[in-house]
A and B are shown apart, each in its own frame.
Chain A
Amino acid sequence: MLLAHGVGGRQDLPIPFSAALAGAIICLVVSFAALGFLWREPRLGLGLDDARPLPRFLQWRVPAWVWRAVGLVVTAYFLIGFFGPDDADNPTAGVVYVLFWVGLVPLSLVFGGVWRLFNPLRTVVLLVRGERSVRPLPERLGYWPAAAGLFAFVWLELVAPGRVTLPVIGGWLGLYALAMLAGGFVYGVRWFDKGDAFEVYSDLAGRLSPVARRDDGVLVWRNPLDGMAGLRPAPGLVVLVIVLLGSTMYDSVSNAPVWVRFVQENSLPSPVLGTAGLLFVILLVLGAYLLATRLAGRRGMGEQGRTSGEIAHSIVPIAVGYIVAHYFTLFLYEGQRTLALLSDPLMTGANWLGTVGWTVQSAFLTPAAVAMLQVTLIVIGHVLGTALAHDRALVLFPRRTAVAGQVPLLVLMVVYTVTGLMLLFAA
């Protein structure tokens, strides 16, 4: 993703080959060690009854309307940017692509799926309609609306011509808001749980948060794997998760000189090629997933057609690890710049937030440290994904065939992870 012409024009160096190789070897070893040494009885997703509560001074609960009001105010402030000049110093693109889209991941990893608290569209529907709906939310809709919304967003972010200009961003957000409000009005606020791409994105990452609120309202520490294992199969879930992983991979691919040359020397317009490339990478990632889960189901003697949905949750940490590895320097550099620009969205010389004078701090970001962190994040994602798939395989497959059923899943994850590492090395 390449934003405006300022600091966002800097991208990470390719990681050294030895770093990519080290990461890949660790992943292989961990995966096959997991087969032999991990637990033999399923133990994840059993609930939070025994979870340890957070200390008392952290046990506060803010009324939901406070968060909703914050969401509305921040959104209103963000919208001011649309009235400013449409150039590189307008904060709008940075807010959407960096502070919001990339920033939502770390925010959710720490605090859980918080976007549902702030989401201004949910708030509008609640204000106007309350809990009413025209018709009940059909179960078969599942995550399909969110998967479609997610694809539309990554297309905007990675392919759309003029994606950093105000008309394009504004037009996209306007259409998206209309679609979400329509869904909310027809099906009630529950629509947003699985229908709003950003709530779902925040929820997926938020399941890896070490903190959760139990049904009785107490904040507890939990094993992030338990949170992730709580993601139950639903229509569209597999595609949703694959779009998340595949689009980030496409972002790497599209930066490789080979791809740049191909697009530039081709007579077809670049948005057409970009769309085709994005679809192609996603379909490739999806194909590998369906093949591996089908094989796993057959070799593991699982119930037919069940494996692919049940394993989808274990792809999330791999995708999140790759997303954070891929985008965290962008978040640090461009995020700081955007915060500075936000003080003066109309470019009148104002300093509303007092951040105008901020210069971008990057002292500790040496190339070696960045490469190390990237590989570490990807390896952590892989380890979590492997553990999740292992645990779920114990549920899905009879004991006798559980190991045989896991082999295709492990191969799939190793392929995803090594591809991610190689993309960081080569693209």
Chain B
Amino acid sequence: MRHVAALLVAVMALTGCATGGPAAAVGPIKEITISISGKKVTPPPGRIEVRLNQGVKITVTSDVADEAHVHGYDKAATLLPNHPSVISFLADTTGLFEVETHDQDLQLFQLVVS
């Protein structure tokens, strides 16, 4: 049992050291531009990282009517065909959040707030 305890301490020490310090101050607004055409997302879905408490401005243009949605933050915008829509908010919760459209069910990107 003592070995297990020592091991736990070791894991905690190692992983504890590994993670970052306090959250950064509010930086410049992160601007993200996405377009959807023929069910194809450009740029292709990936991860976009922002700092905690950074402003995020997402501009989405779709070739068909749809709704864009940021999970977790629960922010949504109606998309009209070929008309840019904007979602902006303060990234004040850490985590990984999927941004997607509802009708076509496409993932646009994953927002990583850390």
Contact = CB atoms under 8 A, between A and B. Distances in A.
Nearest to B13: A22
B14 interface: yes
A367 B114 contact: yes
Interface stretch (A11-19, A97-105, A195-203, A287-295): A11-19
B24 interface: no
Given A9-B98, A367-B114, A379 B7 contact: yes
A264 B18 contact: no
Contacts of A265: 40, 44
Interface string B22-50: 00000000000000000111001111000
Contacts, number: 110
Interface string A359-374: 0000000111001100
B69 to A, nearest CB: 7
B108 to A, nearest CB: 10
Given A9-B97, A265-B40, A372-B12, A367 B71 contact: no
Contacts of A9: 70-74, 97-98
Contacts of A270: 105
A363 to B, nearest CB: 12
Interface in B45-77: 45-47, 69-74
Contact of A264 (B8, B47, B107): B107
A7 B15 contact: no
B7 A10 contact: no
Contact of A13 (B73, B74, B96, B107): B96
B90 interface: no
A257 interface: yes
A341 interface: no
A376 B47 contact: no
A11 B97 contact: yes
Contacts of A367: 19-20, 94-95, 114
Contact of A257 (B39, B93, B106, B110): B110
Interface string A1-30: 010011101111111101100110010001
Contacts of A375: 11, 15
B112 interface: yes
B50 to A, nearest CB: 12
Nearest to A374: B15
A368 B22 CA distance: 10
Contact of B15 (A6, A10, A23, A257): A23
Given A367-B114, A368-B15, A368-B16, 9 more contacts: A5-B74, A9-B70, A10-B96, A26-B10, A257-B110, A367-B20, A368-B19, A376-B15, A383-B7
Instruction: Please give me the 6 A-B residue pairs with the lowest Cβ-Cβ distance, nearest first.
Output: A9-B71, A368-B19, A22-B14, A18-B18, A9-B72, A10-B72
23 contacts: A5-B69, A9-B71, A9-B74, A10-B97, A11-B72, A11-B98, A12-B95, A14-B96, A16-B15, A16-B19, A18-B18, A19-B14, A19-B18, A22-B14, A23-B14, A26-B14, A264-B44, A264-B45, A270-B105, A368-B19, A368-B20, A371-B19, A383-B4
